[in-house]
Amino acid sequence: MTVDETLDASGLTCPLPLLKAKQALNRMAEGLVLEVVCTDPGSVRDFRVFSEQSGHELLKSQEEDGTYRYWLRKA
């Protein structure tokens, strides 16, 4: 998967990772992919719901050793 921009939101707690991701997506062109890296376990639900409500496609999500990664395609 081609990533166009990466956002490191590690150490931030809800709702900051999602807010930073929204800001990054607003600056991006349609169809580009944003990778978000964070450490907040609450982000799993946040990014799933955000994707459903915003129309941005959640391409993939994964958790490894307390680090959560999300790949979103800008709608």
Specify the residue for token string 């376990």.
Answer: 41
38 a catalytic residue? no
Helix pair 43-54, 16-27: axis angle to 10 deg: 40
Helix (H, G, I), strand (E, B) or coil at 28: coil
Active-site pick, 12, 14, 58, 59 = 14
Specify whether the CB–CB gap between 36 and 9 falls below 8 A. Answer: yes
Residues with a known catalytic role: 14
